[in-house]
Amino acid sequence: MSAHNSKVLPEGKYVDLSNGMQIHYHDLQNEKGGGQGHPVLFLQGSGGGASGWSNFHLNAPAFVEAGYRALLIDLPGYGYSSKPTDAIYTLDYFVEYVNEFLDKIGVSKLVLLGNSLGGAIAIGLALKYPQKVSQLILMSPGGLEDKPAYFAMPAMAIMKEVFMSGATSRDTLAQFIKKALVFDAASVSETMIDQRWEIFQLQNDQVIKTMDVPNLTDRLGEINVPTLVFWGIDDKLMPETGVMKLAKGLKDYEMVVTSQCGHWFMIEHTELFNRSCIAFLNSKLQAGK
C-alpha cells in the first residue's frame, strides 16, 4: 500500500492477511532504546475516525520505556487497515484477523490491552486462544450488555443530536468526542481531533452498520489470566452495570475506578493509567503469573 501522506497521523507497517485483508500497525520495540521485552497488543475502540495510534499514542511510549514491546494495530474497518464493504464485522471476524496478525508477525504469548470494542475483542481472544494471553488489561470493555442497554446510554443521544444534520464535519466530530467520550473536554487535544477527522475521511460505514458483539458476561469466569480493569465513573457510553459484571464474573483481577473520568480513561488519566498498567504487568510477569 502506498503512503497516505498523512499530515497528522503517522504511518507504520503493513501485514497481508487472508482474503485480501491488510492490517496497519506500529511496532514500538526499538524506539527510545527499549521495548525488547514482553509484547503488549493495544486494541482500539470503535467510532468515527478511530485508529490504534489516536487511541494509544499517549500510552505506548511509556510501555516501551518500561521495557515492553508495544504493538498498536488498526482494526479491520479502521485507520489505515483494509475496510471491506462486503464484510460483516462480528466479534469473531475481529478475533480471527487479530489472531492471524499475531501469527504472521510471530507473537505467540502477549498482553492484550483493549478499550471499548477493543476490550470486547481482548475478551474474545482470551476465550478462544487462552494459550496466547499472559495478562488482560480492559478499559470500559464492550461485550457486557445486550444492544438495547447501549442504545439507552446518554452518548447515543449525544450522537444523534450532534450528527443529526447528516453532514459530518471536523466540528461535529469534535463536539461528539468532547461531549460523549470524556468527562473533561480539555483532555481532548486539537491534534487528536485532527487525527480522527483525517481517518474519518477514509472510512466507510459498513463496520458501524454491521458490527455485532455478543454479551460475553456469562463467559467471564472462563478467563484464567490476571486482569486489570479500568472504569471511568462518568462514562456516557458504557452502562455502569458493566463494573459489577466484571467484578463478579472475573476470577483474578484488580480494578481502578476513577471519578471525573469518561469513556477514555487512557486519555483523561494518562499518568494513572500508564503507571497502573506497568506496575501490574511488572508484578505479574516477575511472579510468573
Enclosing domain of residue 238: 13-286
Q: Which helix (H) or strand (E) holds 152?
A: none
Q: Tens digit of pLDDT for each residue in 165-185?
A: 667 899 999 999 999 999 999
Q: Tens digit of pLDDT for each residue in 198-244?
A: 999 999 989 988 999 999 999 999 999 999 999 999 999 999 999 99
- For the segment 156-161, the average pLDDT, to the nearest whole number, is 84
DSSP 177: I
Say what the pTM is: 0.95
Q: Is residue 269 part of a domain?
A: yes
- Distance, CA of 287 to CA of 289 (rounded, Å): 5
pLDDT for 32 beyond 80: no
Q: Is residue 4 part of a domain?
A: no
Among this protein's residues, is 263 annotated catalytic?
Answer: yes
- Are 134 and 225 within 8 A, CB to CB? yes
Number of structural domains found in the chain: 1
Q: Is residue 5 part of a domain?
A: no
Q: Is residue 141 part of a domain?
A: yes
Q: Give the domain CATH number at 103.
A: 3.40.50.1820
pLDDT value of position 33: 52
Write down the catalytic residue from 24, 57, 263, 269: 263
